[in-house]
Amino acid sequence: MEQALRNYAQNVDNVMLYIIGISFLLLLVITIAMVYFVIRYNRKKNPVASQIEGNKILEIIWIVVPVALVLTMFFYSESVYKVARNVPKGAMNVNVEAKMWQWKFTYENGKVTDTLFLPVGKPVKFNIVSADVNHSFYIPAFRIKEDAIPGRENYMVIEPKDVGAFDIACAEYCGLNHSLMYTKVFVVPENEFFAWYNGEVDNTYLQKFVLAHSGGYKDYITGNYALLFAKGCVQCHSLDGSKNYGPSFTELSRGYAKIRSNGKLETIPIDRDYIARSIISPGEHVVVGYEKAKMPLLTNRIRDEELTQIVDLLLTNFVKKSNEN
Amino acid sequence: MSNETNSATQLSYLDYKPKKGIWAWLLTTDHKRIGLLYLIGMMIFFWVAVGIGFVMKLEMLTPDQTVVDAQTYNSLFTLHGLIMIFLFIIPGLPAVFGNFFLPIQIGAHDVAFPRLNLLSWYLYIIGGLFALVSLHLQGGPIDTGWTFYVPYSIRTTTNVILPLLGAFILGFSSILTGLNFVTTVHRLRAPGMTFFRLPLFVWALYATAWIQVVATPIVGITILLVVIERVLHIGIFDPALGGDPLLFQHLFWIYSHPAVYIMILPAMGVVSEIIPTFARRTIFGYKVIAFSSLAIALIGYFVWAHHMFTSGMSETARFVFSLLTFLVAVPSGVKVFNWVATLYKGSIELRAPLIYILMFIFLFSIGGLTGLVLGSLATNVHVTDTYFVVAHFHYVMFGGTAIVFFAAMHYWFPKMFGKMYNEKIAIWATPFIFIGFNMLYFTMFILGYQGMPRRYWSYLPEYQELHIISTIGSWILIFGLVIMFSNLIFGLIKGRRADSNPWGGVTLEWQIPSPPPHENFEKIPVIDHGPYDFERFKNENKNEIDRS
């Protein structure tokens, strides 16, 4: 049973192969028969058709055989899937909260992350909830997903087999930035995981570990701006001045912002305080021209040190850049 | 039965004008004219939705923004789905070819309720206008996806209510057409036309009509509940108001799964007409095909929740719905076997309509067989809500229903208009459609299995190669469609006159002049034979061939 969960992805692929294999054969038979008949019984070769009304035995065969075939598919698939619905004893619990358009993972000891870290070879039970609309927690490499539905808690079980980094996607349409709701799961050996879990090492340590021990992984979220990607900022605020739902970060380089505050137009200088307040209570000051799309509240989504990091990042990379020039 | 005397004494439905000018069309109660009215509306909507699909595929050329932003893309895929499903594929074959040929094939002057039939068309147009008007209002076009899943559809600021009401009105169009067809089949069959002498297209329309009557009210009620929830904030589906989002999904699919059989069953009926005509032999397993339509219509009611395997339903529900889903695949498979068997020892003439049907059998088989992957629990939870589903759906609905729609256009064109299109060009369009189609959609099976979710405006760079192939496929496909449609339109204007029976068909529509006279039959025929009794018509057919 334990082995079965660990090899779940492989087993799903086997079911796929079984179904596709049989389907391919059926398709081949149908197509060959069809093409052969069309050629063989062409009007030139066969000017007079035989009026065959049917054949009871054939009809019975092609009802019974497909029924039998699909039943084997059903039971095979069912037996594989059952494993993924059975929560093993001692499984680690991770609460998954989906929200437009980011993920929040809460561990048993209260640790909160937006990237998922898991120990290799240990069963994990995800308790999946949504803070707003429907989402779906999907890890393609593990061949499994389960919807996050507001007002109810769904669950999903996996057991990571190998060290590595794998994509997590949202598979249920959830509005504007549905396609950007990606994050990653980093699977590391138990020792490393618990070192992290107990606060001895940080996220970056585990990410570097995976990079070094799994032959690398493709990460589209790299460089200085990792935090801006992880928190979903860049979904609406571009890094290069291009127009989006929120003002581009490059607009910070002006040093001042034209804003609307309680309906009044104002011009205020851009400083540490302005940036921090814009992140924590986005509704307070809205940059003129961007009133239409409201920025979502980040309540409980951003820790104090992360906020400081983001503000520093923006100050150094966008605000100060222009001052130097 | 002599065609020549008929045409001399009776005006064709195109020439018979009881009212002046445009009113002869807009106030007509002739089932054939109403069929054409639907055809005109449908072709407009179809090409709008094809255009939207073209832009969507263009956007998929690169992982990031190519031509439209995320909000626009979300509206585009919603509109593409809404228009194709509610305005093209659901009304599709029944409204156009069902209206035109059902009364003729059973030997009737018209449908049972001709005025109700016209009302259905007006409801169809009004429903479509609701959707179109909503595009231009404050808030912008709807962006919920054609599934309207709550709570998103309750909370989005785009225009949801108007398109929803549009779908509600279209539902009534569908219900009334279904009611009309059920009554027509029961009450207006010609003397001697027993149920087992009905052409299989009629059987398919009959099974479809029952689904329309019984299932459509459920989506109507569901839509009203969403509107009530949005306007009055009464908690029904949105958990923030105390509602249950899964209740919506159940209600939605209780209609929308049977609805896919509304979409495909009539197409299966058309296939059962075209193959015997070009193989010049009776259909293989008439009763099995007829009953499998009813079986599909019936079992089709009990599989809806296979759209919801990852929604958090109980394990028992997942088990039962998966099992039933596998069983509903069987009657469709049986139909395919019987069609192929009908080619056996036929005397096959490979004309344009049959080529479209052969293409259908191949594409529909792929669509049906990949349905098994989706019915199976283990594979479903991996590929559901990915491009795999998009590919499967397009193989079944485009490769299935739409290709048959094209076949039907080519098959019945000479009968409907009394003119003939250029058949060589019609055949030349098929390789473009076939190759373009497979490039466009087969790549999506692979993308889906690799884990690309659907309804994604941007995607991971590793998927780009397949997307490029897919987008190029869309261009080839559209090129093929343009050739095909231009050829038909050209045939409509300049085509040579067609015989009353150019293919040598034996169902009743081929025994009357082309185009059919105003009330179809001068004298209602008396039926004493099965629908595909080629032995009986052998001599008459020979005459037809000699003349052409």
Q: What is the CATH number of the domain that holds B187?
A: 1.20.210.10
Contact A134, B240 (CB under 8 A): no
Look at residue A275 and tell me whether its pLDDT is greater than 80: yes
* Confidence class for position B216, pLDDT limits 50, 70, 90: very high
Question: Across the interface, do B378 and A15 touch by the CB < 8 Å criterion?
Answer: yes
Highest mean pLDDT among A178-187, A267-276, B269-278, B514-523: B269-278
Sort out which chain A residues have CB atoms less than 8 A from B356's CB and list them.
none
pLDDT, position A218: 55
* Confidence class for position B64, pLDDT limits 50, 70, 90: confident
**A211-240 tens-digit pLDDT:** 777 765 555 444 566 677 777 787 778 777
Query: What is the rounded average pLDDT of the residues B308-324?
Result: 94
CATH of domain A92-220: 2.60.40.420
Sort out which chain A residues have CB atoms less than 8 A from B460's CB and list them.
167, 182, 218, 220
Ordered by start, the domain boundaries in chain A are 2-83, 92-220, 228-324
Question: Quick one: which of B413, B400, B410, B403 has its CA closest to B262?
Answer: B400
Sort out which chain A residues have CB atoms less than 8 A from B246's CB and list them.
149, 152
pLDDT, position B9: 55
Look at residue B169 and tell me whether its pLDDT is greater than 60: yes
Query: What is the rounded average pLDDT of the residues A132-146?
Result: 95
Look at residue B183 and tell me whether its pLDDT is greater than 70: yes
Look at residue A300 and tell me whether its pLDDT is greater than 50: yes
Q: What is the mean pLDDT of chain B?
A: 92
Sort out which chain B residues have CB atoms less than 8 A from A51's CB and list them.
281-282, 534-535
* Residues in contact with B142: Cβ distance below 8 Å, sequence separation at least 6, in sequence order: B75, B78, B79, B82, B134, B156, B158, B159, B160, B163
Q: In this complex, which of B239, B349, B365 lies closest to A30 when CB atoms are compared?
A: B365
Query: What is the rounded average pLDDT of the residues B117-145?
Result: 91
| SS3 call for A184 | strand
Residue of B nearest to A62 (CA): B334
Residue of A nearest to B459 (CA): A179
* Confidence class for position B406, pLDDT limits 50, 70, 90: very high
Whether A72 has its CB under 8 Å from any CB of chain B: the answer is no
Q: In this complex, which of A15, A47, A133 lies closest to B155 when CB atoms are compared?
A: A133
| SS3 call for B382 | helix
Buried b (16+ CB within 10 A) or exposed e, B153-189: bbbbebbbbbbbbbbbbbbbbbbbbbbbbbebbeebb
Look at residue A102 and tell me whether its pLDDT is greater than 60: yes
Asked which of A115-119, A212-216, B453-457 is least confident by mean pLDDT, the reply is: A212-216
Question: Across the interface, do B345 and A33 touch by the CB < 8 Å criterion?
Answer: no
Chain B: closest CA distance from residue A322 (Å): 28
Whether B284 has its CB under 8 Å from any CB of chain A: the answer is yes
**Which of B77, B146, B148, B152 to probe the A interface (max A CBs under 10 A)?**
B152
pLDDT, position B501: 93
Whether B245 has its CB under 8 Å from any CB of chain A: the answer is yes
Residue with tokens 């002046």: B20
Sort out which chain B residues have CB atoms less than 8 A from A34's CB and list them.
340, 343, 358, 361-362
Residue of A nearest to B357 (CA): A34
Q: Which has more pLDDT, B19 or A1?
A: B19
Q: Which has more pLDDT, B63 or B99?
A: B99
Percent of chain A exceeding pLDDT 90 equals 52
Chain A: closest CA distance from residue B219 (Å): 20
Whether A172 has its CB under 8 Å from any CB of chain B: the answer is yes
Question: Across the interface, do A80 and B155 touch by the CB < 8 Å criterion?
Answer: no
pLDDT, position A10: 95
Question: Across the interface, do A74 and B326 touch by the CB < 8 Å criterion?
Answer: yes
Q: What are phi and psi of A242, to 5 degrees?
A: -70, 155
Whether A147 has its CB under 8 Å from any CB of chain B: the answer is yes
CATH of domain A2-83: 1.10.287.90
Question: Across the interface, do B459 and A179 touch by the CB < 8 Å criterion?
Answer: yes
Query: What is the rounded average pLDDT of the residues A290-302?
Result: 72
Query: What is the rounded average pLDDT of the residues B212-235?
Result: 92
Look at residue B384 and tell me whether its pLDDT is greater than 60: yes
pLDDT, position B1: 40
Greatest C-alpha distance within chain A: 91
Question: Across the interface, do A171 and B449 touch by the CB < 8 Å criterion?
Answer: no
Residue with tokens 């308790």: A127
Question: Across the interface, do A19 and B376 touch by the CB < 8 Å criterion?
Answer: yes
Query: What is the rounded average pLDDT of the residues B363-375?
Result: 96
Residue of A nearest to B354 (CA): A38
* Distance in angstroms (rounded) separating the CA atoms of residues B274 and B280: 10
Whether B281 has its CB under 8 Å from any CB of chain A: the answer is yes
DSSP β-bridge partners for residue B12:
B517
Query: B122: domain range?
Result: 3-547
Look at residue B53 and tell me whether its pLDDT is greater than 50: yes
| SS3 call for A98 | strand
Which CATH code of 3.40.50.450, 1.10.1040.10, 3.40.50.360, 1.10.760.10 fits the domain covering A228-324?
A: 1.10.760.10
**A126-138 tens-digit pLDDT:** 999 999 999 999 9
DSSP labels, A101-147: TEEEEEETTS-EESSEEEETT--EEEEEEESSS-EEEEEGGGTEEEE
Domain count, chain B: 1
* Confidence class for position B509, pLDDT limits 50, 70, 90: very high
| Contacting A residues, span 227-256, partner chain B, CB-CB under 8 Å | 244-245
* Distance in angstroms (rounded) separating the CA atoms of residues B155 and B499: 58
DSSP β-bridge partners for residue A139:
A144
Residue of B nearest to A66 (CA): B330
Look at residue A323 and tell me whether its pLDDT is greater than 60: no
